[in-house]
Structure 1
Amino acid sequence: MAPPKKKHASGQPCIIPGGFAVLSLKFSSDSPAQHKVYVKEHRVRAEKNSHRPLDRTLFVLNIPPYCSEAVVRELFSQFGCVQSVELRDHPGSVQESAPKLSKFFRPAEKTGFKVGYVVFQDSSSVNSAKSHPDDSPLVVCTEERPVKTGVQKWIHQYSETFIKPDKLQQIVDSFMEGYDKRKKEEEQRQRNEAEQEQEDEEGWVKVTKGHKGAKARPHSEAANKRTLQKEMRKKKRKELMNFYTWQQRNTQKEHIAELRKKFEEDKQRIALLRAQRKFRPY
């Protein structure tokens, strides 16, 4: 493992239960207070994506609100070249399919302590960050890297709420161009599939090949409509058969009830005849 460029104190890293290493933060060099963050190598077997490689990702807890992604990148860049930084409110898997919205249309971010995922370009940087001694705090705000807080931060956030019309128009135009392009590609793909799945003179239909193990079927809107209509007809026939079956069963029950009623009447008539019978020898 290559040693870090920055010389650290002679202390030992502080490891707490759970495998987390403790790193100390100081807002400025003359600040007496220190803030603790907890780092650990990110190892989640269920998460399989290229955004968080298991051997180069550092999981960070208890990141203070005044540390943005740029600040976190600068703090951990002393351990090695940082590829990407991701801050979240809660730990979780990355959402690759979610569309990336512009900053003008994003909901307001929650202010509070966050968790972070720091991806390095070299796996040795993760070990360097974990082995950093606790008695050598990292400085957040320096002359080269000033961090705005308090009134200055509020003024900056308020000024950022004003959107320049020309910049907003550029973002909207670029989004609409991409949307129109995707729309045309989707329409062209549907037309190509419809042409491939048309019936020939002998009634054969060419279907597209699905993934391995899947049953090949036409993947067009017309084919899906035909399949839906077929299922609806099958459902109606089944309901009609069930109706006839219920009607026959009801008729049989009524017939059995009538036979039982007639049997009881015959029993009463026979008992009455036996009671009225008299002995007449002559």
Structure 2
Amino acid sequence: MAPSKKKHASSQPCIIPGGFTVLPLQFSSDSVAQHSLYVKEHRVRAERSSHRPLDRTLFVLNIPPYCSEDVVKDLFSQFGCVESVELRDHPGTFWESGPRLSKVFKPVAKQGFKVGYIVFQNSSSITAAKSHPHDVPLVVCTEQRPVRTGVQKWIQQYRQSFINPDKLQQIVDSFMTDYDKRKEEDAERQRKEIEQQQEDEEGWVKVTRGPKGTKARPHSEAANKRTLHKEFRKKKRKELMNFYTWQHRNTQKEHIAELRKKFEEDKQRIALLRAQRKFRPY
């Protein structure tokens, strides 16, 4: 006997507008309530990170708070071998700068629904996840993978918050060793820049080519200090020269005042001759 059309339709994946496939999620096998995950192949033109290959990354929305990265990895391992899982508060590009801090120094993560990026080893795993039937829910908590919630989860987090002092000391020592190493590298790089940009006898600065793909920087901190010192000395010499320039300017002002005085006297003389009608220009 052939299966009914209703049963056949329910075994098909559920696709909603936007290209998302709905995956039902159930906390345990005896739970009545179900949750929905929305998955889609990660295809973003602006994505340049190698941590999210466009042909092997699955974008997941509406991940509940009780699902950690390990739980998500185990859930989606049934579709294929999972390479990495990344959970974030909001979707966005992969961004990471500076040294990676230990979880001891990281702030407490926000509790709420997450978005995830699941990277598979094979691109066929994405097709398998998108083809998952809508009437077969993914079970979060099993005997092989127990997931704690509520008070049990809080007690577990509280116990895990205590760190062994020896382990903490090792983490701090490792971080400080890396920090000292970076400081030494920066000091060595600055020393090399100063040596390469030493002024010759005529005051010229040798500009060297930087690493491949970067622009040359002719001015270092030491070169800037030398330039400021030269400007200061030049300003001092200019102030001394301005003393004599002030005298010269004063003489010029006096000469101009004298010429204006003579001009006014000539104007008065011409006006007097006009009044006496004895002005004969030719």
Shorter-normalised TM range: 0.7 to 0.9
Q: Equivalent residue for 2:137?
A: 137
Cα distance in 2 for partners of 1:48, 1:18 equals: 23
> In structure 2, do the counterparts of structure 1 residues 156 and 227 end up closer, same or farther at CA, with 3 Å as the change threshold?
farther
Q: Equivalent residue for 2:254?
A: none
> In structure 2, do the counterparts of structure 1 residues 210 and 148 end up closer, same or farther at CA, with 3 Å as the change threshold?
same
Give the 3-state SS of the residue equivalent to 1:154 in structure 2. helix
In structure 1, runs of 5+ residues without a counterpart are 1-8, 234-282
Measured after TM superposition, the shift of residue 231 of structure 1 is 10
Q: Equivalent residue for 1:100?
A: 100
> In structure 2, do the counterparts of structure 1 residues 227 and 75 end up closer, same or farther at CA, with 3 Å as the change threshold?
farther
- Kindly report which structure 2 residues correspond to 1:146-161, keeping only aligned pairs within 5 A, or say none: 146-161=146-161
Measured after TM superposition, the shift of residue 199 of structure 1 is 2.0
2:202 maps to 1:189: no
Cα distance in 1 for partners of 2:232, 2:64 equals: 58
Measured after TM superposition, the shift of residue 99 of structure 1 is 3.7
- Kindly report which structure 2 residues correspond to 1:1-282, keeping only aligned pairs within 5 A, or say none: 11-210=11-210, 216-225=216-225
Cα distance in 1 for partners of 2:85, 2:228 equals: 47
Measured after TM superposition, the shift of residue 219 of structure 1 is 4.8
Cα distance in 2 for partners of 1:57, 1:84 equals: 9
> In structure 2, do the counterparts of structure 1 residues 230 and 51 end up closer, same or farther at CA, with 3 Å as the change threshold?
farther
Give the 3-state SS of the residue equivalent to 1:135 in structure 2. coil
- Are the counterparts in 2 of residues 25 and 35 from structure 1 also a CA contact under 8 Å? yes
Measured after TM superposition, the shift of residue 20 of structure 1 is 0.2
Give the 3-state SS of the residue equivalent to 1:48 in structure 2. coil
CA offsets 1:127-157 (integer angstroms, 9 cap, x no match):
1111111111111111111111122111101
> In structure 2, do the counterparts of structure 1 residues 128 and 215 end up closer, same or farther at CA, with 3 Å as the change threshold?
closer
CA offsets 1:51-88 (integer angstroms, 9 cap, x no match):
11111111100001110000001111111111111111
Cα distance in 2 for partners of 1:231, 1:115 equals: 57
CA offsets 1:207-232 (integer angstroms, 9 cap, x no match):
23258898744152223445678999
Which residue identity does 2:171 align to in structure 1? Answer: I
Percent identity of the aligned residues?
Answer: 77
CA offsets 1:79-134 (integer angstroms, 9 cap, x no match):
11111111111111111215422111111111111111111111111111111111
- Are the counterparts in 2 of residues 26 and 140 from structure 1 also a CA contact under 8 Å? yes
Cα distance in 1 for partners of 2:232, 2:203 equals: 23
Cα distance in 2 for partners of 1:192, 1:43 equals: 44
Give the 3-state SS of the residue equivalent to 2:37 in structure 1. strand
Instruction: Name whichever of 61-70 and 141-150 sits farther off.
Output: 141-150
Instruction: Name whichever of 212-221 and 168-177 sits farther off.
Output: 212-221
Give the 3-state SS of the residue equivalent to 1:116 in structure 2. strand
- Are the counterparts in 1 of residues 28 and 140 from structure 2 also a CA contact under 8 Å? yes
Cα distance in 1 for partners of 2:175, 2:185 equals: 16
Cα distance in 2 for partners of 1:175, 1:181 equals: 10
CA offsets 1:13-37 (integer angstroms, 9 cap, x no match):
1100000000011111121221100
Give the 3-state SS of the residue equivalent to 2:100 in structure 1. coil
Which residue identity does 1:73 align to in structure 2? Answer: K
Which residue identity does 1:188 align to in structure 2? Answer: E
CA offsets 1:239-268 (integer angstroms, 9 cap, x no match):
xxxxxxxxxxxxxxxxxxxxxxxxxxxxxx
**Larger Rg: 1 or 2?**
2
> In structure 2, do the counterparts of structure 1 residues 228 and 78 end up closer, same or farther at CA, with 3 Å as the change threshold?
farther
> In structure 2, do the counterparts of structure 1 residues 231 and 210 end up closer, same or farther at CA, with 3 Å as the change threshold?
farther
- Are the counterparts in 1 of residues 82 and 118 from structure 2 also a CA contact under 8 Å? yes
